[in-house]
Amino acid sequence: MINLAARDIGHHLGRFIFTGIGLGLLIGVTLTMAGVYRGMVADGRAVIAASGADIWVVQKDTLGPWAEPSSIRDDLYRSMAGLSGVAEAANVAYLTMQVQINGKDVRVMLAGIEPGALGEPAQVIAGRPLLRSHYEAVADEKAGLLVGDVVRIRRHEYTVVGLARRATSSSGDPMIYIPLKDAQEVQFLKDNDSLIAERARTTANPAINRPGVPGLLDAVVATQTSSRNVNAVLLRLAPGYPAEEVKAEIGRWKHLTAWTRADMEEILVAKLIATSAKQIGMFLVILAIVSAAIVAFIIYTMTINKQREIAVLKLIGVRDRSIATMILQQALALGLIGYIVGQVSATLWAPFFPRHVLLESGDAVRGLVVTLVVCALASVLAIRAALRIDPADAIGG
Amino acid sequence: MQNPTANKEVAIRLSGLTKTYGQGANVVHALRGVDMTIHRGEVVGLVGPSGSGKSTLLKCLGAVIEPTGGHIELGGERIFDEQAGGWQIDDLRALRRDRIGFIFQAPYLIPFLDVTDNVALLPMLAGTPNEEARQRARELIEALDVGHRVGVRVSMLSGGEQQRVAIARSLVNHPPVILADEPTAPLDSTRALAVMRILNDMAQRYGAAIIVVTHDEKIIPTFKRIYHIRDGRTEEEAGEGREITS
Amino acid sequence: MKLHLDKQWKIAIGILLLAGIGLLILRNSPLAPMTKVTTEPVERVSLQASLFGIGIVESRNNILIGPTTAGRVARVLVDQGETVAAGQVVAEIDPIDLQARLAAARHGQARADSALAAAEALGREAESRLVTAEASARRYAELREQGYVSTEAERAKGHEFRAAGAAQAASLANVAAARAEGERSRAEAEALVRQLGNMRLLAPVAGLIVARDIEPGSTAVAGQAVVRMVETDSFWLRVRIDQGRSAGLATGQTASIVLRSRPGETFTGKVARIEQLSDAVTEERIAMVAFDSLPAGLTLNEMAEVTVNMPARPPALAVPPAALVRQDGRSGVFLAIDGKAQFVPIRAGLRAASGIEVLEGLRGGEAVIVTRARPLADGDRVRVTDAGGAQS
């Protein structure tokens, strides 16, 4: 049995390969987009898992601390530490902000943790973890800092004592861990001008600035400048203890909501990433349609260019099935070349992409199947055209 | 008139073949009752002006279009009978593949197949093992004097070489009927006569019945029998039957 | 060879396919090469911790100089940054009506004195009348005995005598009252004098004026500071140290101090006092750290970073701080055992920059992974290299 498709491709090999490469780049972009989505989900899950927390306690009815702003008193963790099943409780503060690093503005997620307590980075790949209670930092390597660098965050300068890897927020921003008290100040204490203005307003208020009560004004000003809130409390449970129980217990408290790890993952994936997921999904559909159109067009053109030959073949007795098979095989071959080129390029350029691109083998297989199916469908147009060719046209006149 | 080269069986018989295109005011009677008899081993000419129905006749013979009336017999088998409902065979394409060989005005070789594969294509697609098919192809190619071009790309062959390959293709399944449509039109007299010599050779060797549609003055004298066609009707005439000297 | 052309195509496509899929699998699988790590054996180390805290410059005693009653500030005689001697007048409150009231009191005093003199004079008169009345009564008694006068006459004279006695008693009482009135007036005047004295605010000890809070013309209430001062050379640092990290804090320990206003210099000091009241809200202990030698130009409320040096502790099992990791939330270390990383949970004690004390979980001598080229998971294959090769 002779393979007409192989012969035809071999005859126009250069053009075919060239088209395949073009298609491949398109497929590569598609695979990369899917990889971006997977990367976002993986990053989100990594952030949640890296904290080591089994339960996240946030302000009542919020999805915090990342999906929504959440603010709770920082002394609540003491009562939670006493709940049955809780092995460790720790305050954390999170804030996304711009920090100047090496002359550039870098978007980071500032994480305020108690050195040595839950919420600290799981491992450092350089330097050491946080030990002091002020003015030290551990940064993710993506921030561009090295051990020993000094970075200015709002009012103070922090010495980088350690580096972490894969410590990023769910949107891919590198994290910088600093002691909780410093983070509280960063988050809740305003800048000097605002403070001075606030102080002036308070001083001008006769209800507070009473001559008969010396010291009242100072006390009120002091409360305005103190920061006694955090964004969440992390709980680590005794091994095997059911998280749902603790979650239900805290849910009964008046001002708090508790989320388990599974809840947090769902919040992140379903809510935070949902919009991006939709966008990426639409993008994938569009790319699939465009790819199908390209394949259809190329195969159709190749078929029409063989109009005379197909008429001759039909005339001398070649079956429709053989002709259709040839066209289908050409479309599949184009798809296969495109897929391989796409997969290889995506693998090669993924590390350099600004977002985390995670190419899963499941996606690779799915991509192959979809590519082949799309190519098969795209060939239908050309096959229909081929079948309509009248063998009589081969005999002129 | 008796044809000295006519032997045994009738390969093709047409009786009252008609073909009408169109309807109402636009009706075209391409064929108005054609009768024709051709024996195995004969090379017969079909001559007529353009518009006379030559191509239509070939297309009917080649089972490419459906006649409107009359009947067609190939090798004694009635393949078309208008009164019996039309085509009497289900798979026309198989008919063309196995029992009819086509030679066109231009070689129409498949450009992405090499010489051998162009010739061996039909048997290979029909299921014949590649080796055997290619072997048969090579034999024919040798016989047609293009053996030195085996394995070469079609585009590298001269016009005459391509034509000979095309003839080989039409012969590879040893069809009992060969329809040739202006096979010598683009050729000069030497080449044209060479082609006719090959056809006559094939007819003799394999017993094929060959109809050659032509208006090429250079080769008409070589036919022993000629059918003239005009306005959809044929008339038989004895030809010169000149010998072709190489 | 022509005959194998079709097969060649199939093989070529097959190889391409396999290559592609192979590439995928290789890149995506966790068939990653071994992670480079460095290890150190777990040893007993004498850890020297240092406690770190943020300090704020305060003075040992803040003296608020102000009036005891509400008044209007008349003059402020000193300004910020001036040194004053003990007893120096720093400000004066406007006495307003005090002078007038003192004058009134003095007048009252004078009047009281006059009243006393009058009462005394009257007393003398009464006494003289009494003497006379007594003599008269006695004579009449004698005369009655001789029958020269009537009993009524005698009684009348007796009555006169008694009346004179009563009058004399009354006059004595008047004198006493007048005297008391005189005392009262004097006391009142004295009180006003003292109050007038309070209108002058004095520095109780020698020291430095740190704030001038009320300007002349403004009103000050009782207890409000017009001027704030501190004793000379009484600046020290109020340092807040995390409770959890304050083990071993004791008075007398040395400290190094970096002022925020002078980042390049380091000063030395000692822990002078540890406050009995810690801060429950911020969970910090408070220590007062005194400078060994007070830097010139120090101002109140300046910030400083203070590191208190702890004495070296007896040797204890410790690991380098970089070795501490968390897996699934639990603290521990990775040990390099048979080319694989194995996680061991530990309970940590003191956390110093030189090492983390291990209270539970390690025996000593194990090869603990100190640095790793990439984050490890339990069971990962590792390759131990010399120090210096594992930083990514």
**CB-closest option in B62, B65, B113 to A7:** B113
Amino acid found at B244:
I
Chain B CB within 8 Å of residue A5 CB: no
pLDDT digits (tens, 9 = 90+) for A182-194: 998 888 777 777 7
SS3 assignment for chain B = CCCCCCCCCEEEEEEEEEEEECCHHHCEEEEEEEEEEEECCCEEEEECCCCCCHHHHHHHHCCCCCCCEEEEEECCEEEEECCCCEECCCCHHHHHHHHEEEECCCCCCCCCCEHHHHHHHHHHHHCCCHHHHHHHHHHHHHHCCCHHHCCCEHHHCCHHHHHHHHHHHHHCCCCCEEEEECCCCCCCHHHHHHHHHHHHHHHHHHCCEEEEECCCCCCHHHCCEEEEEECCEEEEEECCCCCCCC
The string over C368-384, giving b where at least 16 C-beta atoms fall within 10 Å of a residue's C-beta and e elsewhere, is: bbbbbbebbeeebebee
Q: What is the mean pLDDT of residues B20-45?
A: 87
Are the C-beta atoms of A250 and A90 separated by less than 8 Å? no
* Mean predicted confidence (pLDDT) in B121-143: 87
Whether B55 sits inside 8 A of A397 (CB atoms) is yes
Which chain C residues touch B131 with a CB distance below 8 Å? 3
Neighbouring chains to B with at least 3 Cβ pairs closer than 8 Å: A, C
Q: CA neighbours within 13 Å on the CB side: how many for A131? A: 24
SS3 C77: coil
Handedness of CA B165, A330, A302, A16 (dihedral sign): negative
Distances (CA, A) of C211 to A52, A208, B181, C55: 51, 22, 121, 21
Beta carbons of A237 and A243 less than 8 angstroms apart:
yes
Contact B176, B76 (CB under 8 A): no
Q: Calculate mean pLDDT across residues B107-130.
A: 87
Q: Does A308 contact B at CB distance below 8 Å?
A: yes
- Which two tokens mark C143? 């005369």
Residues 5-44 of C with CB under 8 A from B: 6
Count of residues in chain C: 392
Alpha carbons C63 and B75: distance in angstroms, whole number:
135
Q: Closest chain C residue to A334 measured between Cα atoms?
A: C13
Q: Distance of alpha carbon C1 from its chain centroid, rounded?
A: 99
pLDDT > 50? residue C4: no
Predicted TM-score (pTM) of the model is 0.66
CB contact under 8 A, C3 and B151: no
Q: Min CA distance, A318 vs chain B (Å)?
A: 7
Chain C CB contacts of B116 below 8 Å? 2
Quick one: pLDDT at residue C22?
A: 74
Residue with tokens 């010739």, as numbered in its chain: B119
Percentage of chain A beyond pLDDT 70 is 98
Write out residues 303-332 of C within 8 Å (CB-CB) of A.
305, 320-322, 324-331
Which backbone phi and psi does C136 adopt, to 5 degrees? -60, -45
Q: Dump pLDDT digits (tens) for A24-45.
A: 999 999 899 999 888 888 888 8
Structure confidence at residue C245 as a pLDDT band (50, 70, 90):
confident
Whole-number pLDDT of residue C70: 81
Q: B246 and chain A: CB distance < 8 Å anywhere?
A: no
Q: In chain B, which residues have their Cβ closer than 8 Å to the Cβ of A395?
A: 55, 58-59, 62, 64, 102, 104, 181
**Chain A residue with the nearest C-alpha to that of B180:** A395
The residue in chain A having the minimum alpha-carbon distance to the alpha carbon of residue C226 is: A214
Residue of A nearest to B121 (CA): A2
Residue A110 has pLDDT above 90, yes or no: yes
* Complex ipTM value: 0.80
Looking at every residue in chain C, the average pLDDT score rounds to 85
A144-160: average pLDDT: 92
Neighbours of chain C (3+ CB pairs under 8 A): A, B
C28 has a pLDDT exceeding 80: no
- Name the pLDDT band for B6 (thresholds 50, 70, 90): very low
Neighbours of A55 (CB within 10 A): 27
CA distance A238 to B47: 103
Q: Where residue C329 falls among pLDDT bands split at 50, 70, 90?
A: confident
Element housing C61 (H / E): none
Which pLDDT belongs to residue B245? 67
Provide the sign of the torsion angle of the four alpha carbons C109, C115, C120, C121, taken in this order: positive
* In the predicted structure, residue C392 carries a pLDDT above the cut 80: no
Residue C13 Cα, gap to closest chain B Cα (Å): 19
Distance (Å) from the alpha carbon of A38 to chain C's nearest alpha carbon: 13
